[in-house]
């Protein structure tokens, strides 16, 4: 409706994978105003890279008020995901490819007080998971192969966003749709137009001279691009 504010307020989640790991408290402070702080947990098994785990997340939770969005790129989330929720993460996302029991893990995460997210890799179809998405709060559509920051955005994943968006608009799902990988000033508009609610951005935020300003600028671009949508 003209003149009506969009119901669809874009959230920006800077990924600290692109931050200086020796100065994580400062790097969290540098994105003041961000909606979520995206923390990539990698175990060198599910993905060929190793980052950080519970001790670092617990320390980070002490130094920032930004809701923490833990993206677990790990095997056996059944065992390892609930502690992130217990520690105080806002949203805990597991990979669909990493467990045979995603619903059980989602229930454990929610029971421990966090929102539960389901992530799918670029080559993973959405359809097999549509039924179980009602057990989740967020859907994370990966737009790069998980494991590393600074990769090129894979636009071919956007139809999955569109499918999820339509189901949300039809009232069949109440998830928030998140995208992760290669999001920057050039790619965020296409993602916003497809119906993304929450945009993870690592290098685009932390390579900027003023990361907090980069967050605001990405949010503005996403808001402008999605304004015409009847969401
Ligand atoms: C990749 C991670 C992303 C990564 C995004 O496996 O899940 O969160 O930090 O980094 P950019 O925005 O640089 O692609
Ligand atoms: Zn991530």
Distance CA 28, CA 16 (A): 8
Residue 3 alpha carbon to ligand 2 centre in Å: 35
Q: What is the pLDDT of residues 116-126, one digit of tens each?
A: 999 999 999 99
Q: Does the pLDDT value for residue 6 go beyond 60?
A: no
What rounded mean pLDDT belongs to the chain?
95
Predicted local distance difference test score (pLDDT) of residue 51: 98
pLDDT digits (tens, 9 = 90+) for 139-192: 999 999 999 999 999 999 999 999 999 999 999 999 999 999 999 999 999 999
Structure tokens at 116: 């539960």
Residues annotated catalytic, as ranges? 40, 180
**Residue 168 in contact with ligand 1 by CB distance below 6 A:** no
Element (H, E) at 92: strand 91-95
DSSP code of residue 229: S
203 assigned ligand-binding residue: yes
pLDDT tens-digit readout, 81-99:
999 999 999 999 999 999 9
**What length does the chain have?**
231
CA of 187 to the centre of ligand 1 (A): 14
Ligand 1, atom 7: closest residue by C-alpha: 146
Residue located via tokens 């990361």: 211
Looking at residue 229, its pLDDT comes to 72
Tell me the pLDDT band of 28, cut-offs 50, 70 and 90. Answer: very high
Task: Tally Cβ neighbours within 10 Å of residue 9.
Answer: 14
Nearest CA to ligand 1 atom 4: 149
Using CB atoms within 10 A of its CB, is residue 14 exposed (0-12), middle (13-18) or buried (19+)?
buried
Asked whether residue 202 is marked as a ligand-binding residue, the answer is yes
Q: Reduce the secondary structure of 38-82 to three states and give it as a string.
A: EEEEEECCCCCCECCCHHHHHHHHHHCCCCEEEEEECCCHHHHCH
- Residue range 11-36: mean pLDDT, rounded: 98
Decide whether any atom of ligand 1 lies within 6 Å of the 14 Cβ: no
Is there a binding annotation on residue 20? no
User: 230: burial class by Cβ within 10 Å (0-12, 13-18, 19+)?
Assistant: exposed
Q: Are 16 and 28 in contact (CB under 8 A)?
A: yes
Q: How far is the CA of 2 from the centre of ligand 2 (A)?
A: 35
Alpha-carbon distance 199 to 217, whole Å?
Answer: 12
Q: What is the pLDDT of residue 231?
A: 52
150 C-beta closer than 6 A to ligand 1: yes
Question: Does residue 38 have a known ligand-binding role?
Answer: yes
Q: Which domains does the chain have, with CATH numbers?
A: 11-225 (3.20.20.70)
- Using the mean position of ligand 1's atoms as its centre, give its distance from the Cα of residue 5 in Å: 30
Burial class of residue 203 in the structure, from the number of CB atoms within 10 Å of its CB (0-12 exposed, 13-18 middle, 19+ buried): middle
Q: Which pTM does this prediction carry? A: 0.96
Q: Walk across the sheet containing 91-95 and list its strands.
A: 11-14, 198-201, 176-180, 138-142, 115-120, 91-95, 68-73, 37-42
């Amino acid at each position: 409706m003209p003149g009506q504010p969009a119901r669809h307020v874009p959230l920006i989640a800077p990924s600290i994978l692109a931050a200086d790991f020796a100065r994580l408290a400062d790097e969290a402070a540098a994105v003041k105003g961000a909606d979520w702080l995206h923390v990539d947990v990698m175990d060198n098994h599910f993905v060929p890279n190793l980052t950080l785990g519970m001790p670092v997340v617990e320390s980070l939770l002490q130094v920032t008020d930004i809701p923490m969005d833990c993206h677990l790129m790990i095997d056996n989330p059944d065992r390892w995901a609930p502690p992130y929720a217990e520690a105080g993460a806002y949203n805990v996302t597991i990979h669909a490819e990493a467990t045979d029991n995603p619903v059980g893990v989602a229930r454990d995460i929610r029971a421990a007080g966090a929102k539960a997210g389901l992530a799918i890799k670029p080559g993973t179809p959405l359809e097999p998971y549509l039924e179980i998405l009602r057990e989740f709060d967020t859907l994370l559509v990966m737009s790069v192969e998980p494991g590393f920051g600074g990769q090129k955005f894979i636009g071919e994943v956007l139809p999955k966003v569109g499918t999820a968006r339509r189901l949300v608009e039809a009232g069949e799902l109440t998830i928030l749709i998140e995208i992760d990988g290669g999001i920057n000033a050039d790619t965020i508009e296409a993602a916003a137009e497809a119906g993304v609610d929450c945009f993870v951005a690592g290098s685009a935020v932390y390579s900027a001279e003023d990361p907090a300003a980069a967050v605001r600028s990405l949010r503005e671009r996403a808001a402008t691009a999605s304004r015409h949508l009847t969401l």
